Amino acid sequence: MQLRIPGPTPCPDEVLKAIGRQMINHRGKEFGEMTNRIIPKLKQCFQTKNDVVILSTSGTGGLESAVVNTLSPGDKVLGISIGIFGDRFGECAKTYGAEVIPLKYEWGQTAKPDDVRKALKENPGVKAVLVTHNETSTGTTNPLKEIAKVVKEFDKLILVDAVSSLSSIDLPVDAWDLDVVVTGSQKGWMVPPGLAFVSISERGWKAHAEAKMPRFYFDFSRAKKFAADGQTPWTPTVSVFFGMDVALDMMLKEGLPNIFARHARVADKARAWVKSKGLQLLSVDERFASNTVTAVKAPDDMDVAKFTSTLRDEYKVVIAGGQGGMKGKVFRIGHLGFITDKDMDEIIAAMNGALPKAKK
């Protein structure tokens, strides 16, 4: 079976073997040594010298941690959204009492740095900017470097959802001066769901010291205190740690530039297929089409549910439909993490077979 949804993604055999290991004491020496191996490797992937904390939760938990650890109720934040995950990040901040000023775009669009500048000029009281690097619902990647530059012109905090990009698409956290960056294990990391990784800059820690939103499980201070001994405050998803230790070795052996190039190559193949069939990407400007997930507009005569079920049942390829209001109108091919050129060729062959059978 080719599992090609944008997460969870397939795991290599080495990872599957590692996660099948017997449990160990999460307060013991072996676990501490493993965490102390994982964190420096993670920092290499984040391209950062900042602290990186590991939380046993999914991506959303990581995003919630970014919000509650840096903000106080009543804080104004600029909530950039180019799709469902951008909306959700803002909703999370609102739930904890932040005043969210939305900067919202149509599906398929990216955020424009000039709009961010204008919004920050008009709202001098904004404390932080929330932004999605790669919007998984629309298969579109924001120009994060340029957005971050604008945010820093105003010396504001930037909180980044990099759940479906980090480790697959270049995201140099220090070079782009990003304060809190969140990713999730089940995306480009080649391991199962269960862990979120979060980097925190000095500015992020300063905000944390003043932040008053309620937090307990996701408290960065507690995470940092325990990390000093290679531990986590609460019982962690030990098996996913086993997997990460192995997956990170595989990733660093391949090398980040090679990983990014592989994702770009595979995504190019997906986009070339879309065009060859006379179909349209959801991304309005192809330069911003994602290298981890390709979202395709379904033509009026296409039955998306039939396409995905035929792919699954006849061709053993699992792709995703559209989310929320995009259901029935969009299909999405996940191509992140453990994927080769050959995998993409197989997926394309399967889609060639299933597409004619999906006519309404």
Chain residues that interact with ligand PLP, rule: CB under 6 A: 7, 58-60, 85, 132, 134, 136, 161, 163-164, 184
Q: What's the CA gap between 268 and 249, in Å, rounded?
A: 26
In the chain, the largest separation of any two C-alpha atoms, in whole Å, equals 60
Our CB check for ligand PLP shows the closer of 132 and 232 to be 132
DSSP 6-31: SSS----HHHHHHHTSPP--TTSHHH
In angstroms, give the least distance from the CB of 192 to ligand PLP: 11
In angstroms, give the least distance from the CB of 7 to ligand PLP: 5
Our CB check for ligand PLP shows the closer of 223 and 293 to be 293
Q: Is 279 helix (H, G, I), strand (E, B) or coil?
A: coil
Our CB check for ligand PLP shows the closer of 333 and 358 to be 333
Nearest of 46, 22, 36, 53 to residue 230 by alpha carbon: 36
In angstroms, give the least distance from the CB of 153 to ligand PLP: 25
In angstroms, give the least distance from the CB of 20 to ligand PLP: 22
Our CB check for ligand PLP shows the closer of 166 and 304 to be 166
Q: How are beta strands 330-334 and 293-297 bridged, if at all? A: antiparallel
Check: CB of residue 54 under 8 Å from CB of residue 197.
yes
Q: Is 178 helix (H, G, I), strand (E, B) or coil?
A: coil
Check: CB of residue 35 under 8 Å from CB of residue 53.
no
Our CB check for ligand PLP shows the closer of 84 and 150 to be 84
The residue whose Cβ lies closest to ligand PLP is 59
In angstroms, give the least distance from the CB of 67 to ligand PLP: 13
In angstroms, give the least distance from the CB of 225 to ligand PLP: 25
Our CB check for ligand PLP shows the closer of 89 and 226 to be 89
- Output the CA torsion 213→219→220→224 (10° steps): 150
Q: Prior bond to 214 cis, omega within 30? A: no
